[in-house]
């Protein structure tokens, strides 16, 4: 091969790399993250610094967060010179949130109050409509109803299942309206859905449909490795080919820190992925 054609090929390859816009997305349920005043889980400066270290290590551009008390609690662990902070208006101590790199333009913020099922103790959905280097997309943070130790009767458990099912149906309807409103199909859903679509009696199967691609359905929990993960990244089919599959991973904080420190970080592990917007 002659030298000039070889150089031309190299130039075209380099130009292609420059035109590829990659963004990292993640979700992290930080158990009861408070602002240091009368918190349910008491954290000291070391704990907040560990959390800040974890978030920095994720190297994401958009991070969905769950169980956040308020804006002040996030300023303890987020570099506000690099990220914008958006939180839901309720509930009091377990808000959903998004932190978004300042290079990304936030065109609109939509709080999906219907996801809370008219219950101010449940969490609404939070969606930001964003633009980055000519690419527009929706990105959302969600925290569906759990089935916890407080659901200690068959009836309570059944009701929690029904609530997640209803939340899934509402979310699908809301996404359909947003797609139509913005004439845009590109969607990234992030969050703790308290279920997994591969479970035999899953209550969130509505989210596994022809328009959405569940990237994390085969992941296992970091706290209970024998169980499927409930923390998920879901993208619209329009973005499926943009997913860099090798970048999808769960960061095991239990392997990074000793037991006591990891316990103060969270009982969940963050999940991340990178997308290439060409």
- CA 276 to chain CA mean position, Å: 17
Task: Report domain extents, the chain.
Answer: 23-277
- Tell me the CATH number of domain 23-277, given options 3.60.15.10, 3.60.10.10, 3.40.50.10860, 3.40.190.10: 3.60.10.10
Both structure tokens of 97: 């949130």
pLDDT at 20: 60
Q: Is the dihedral of CA 41, 43, 47, 53 positive or negative?
A: positive
pLDDT at 3: 47
Helix (H) or strand (E) holding 164: helix 154-182
pLDDT at 150: 86
Average confidence (pLDDT) per 10 residues, the chain, 278 residues: 45 46 97 96 97 98 98 98 98 97 98 97 98 97 94 94 98 97 97 96 94 97 94 98 98 96 97 94
pLDDT at 14: 45
CB of 28 within 8 A of CB of 270?
Answer: yes
Model pTM score: 0.92
């Amino acid at each position: 091969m002659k030298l000039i054609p070889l150089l031309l090929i190299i130039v075209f390859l380099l130009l292609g790399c420059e035109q590829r816009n990659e963004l990292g997305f993640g979700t992290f349920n930080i158990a009861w993250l408070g602002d240091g005043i009368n918190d349910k889980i008491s954290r000291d400066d070391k704990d907040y610094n560990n959390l800040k270290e974890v978030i920095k290590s994720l190297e994401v551009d958009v991070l969905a967060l769950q169980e956040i008390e308020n804006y002040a609690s996030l300023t303890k662990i987020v570099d506000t010179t690099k990220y914008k902070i958006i939180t839901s208006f309720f509930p009091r101590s377990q808000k959903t949130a998004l932190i978004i790199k300042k290079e990304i333009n936030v065109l609109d913020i939509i709080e999906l109050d219907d996801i809370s099922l008219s219950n101010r103790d449940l969490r609404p959905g939070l969606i930001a409509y964003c633009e980055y280097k000519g690419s527009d997309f929706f990105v959302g943070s969600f925290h569906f109803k759990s089935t916890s130790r407080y659901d200690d009767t068959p009836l309570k458990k059944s009701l929690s299942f029904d609530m997640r099912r209803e939340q899934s149906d509402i979310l699908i309807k809301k996404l359909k309206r947003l797609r139509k409103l913005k004439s845009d199909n590109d969607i990234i859903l992030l969050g703790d859905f308290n279920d997994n679509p591969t479970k035999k009696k899953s209550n969130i199967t509505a989210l596994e449909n022809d328009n959405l691609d569940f990237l994390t359905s085969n992941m296992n929990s970091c706290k209970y490795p024998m169980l499927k993960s409930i923390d998920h990244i879901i993208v619209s089919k329009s973005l499926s080919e943009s997913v860099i599959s090798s970048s999808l991973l769960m960061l095991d904080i239990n392997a990074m820190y000793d037991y006591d420190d990891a316990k103060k970080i969270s009982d969940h592990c963050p999940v991340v992925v990178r997308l290439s917007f060409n």
